[in-house]
Structure 1
Amino acid sequence: MARPVAFVDTSVFCNILAVPHMHQDHSSVLAELTQRRKTHDLILPVTAVIETGNHIAQIADGRLRRSCAEKFSAVLRMVVERKAPWTLNRVEWDEAYLLDLVGGAGTGATLVDLAVQHLGCGDLSILAERNRYLARTTGTTAEIWTLDGQLASYS
Structure 2
Amino acid sequence: MTRKIDLSCPCGSKLTLDKCCGRYHQGEPAPSPEALMRSRYSAFVLGLSDYLLATWHSTTRPAELAPDPDTEWKSLSIVSAEPPLDNTGYVHFRACFYERGRAQKGWHVLEEVSRFVKEQQHWWYIDGTPTLTRLKTRRNDPCLCGSGRKLKVCCGE
TM-score, normalisation: structure 2: 0.30
Look at both structures and tell me which one has the larger radius of gyration over its CA atoms.
2
TM-score, normalisation: structure 1: 0.30
Higher RCO (C-alpha under 8 Å, 6+ residues apart): 1
Q: Which is strand-richer, 1 or 2?
A: 2
Q: Which is helix-richer, 1 or 2?
A: 1
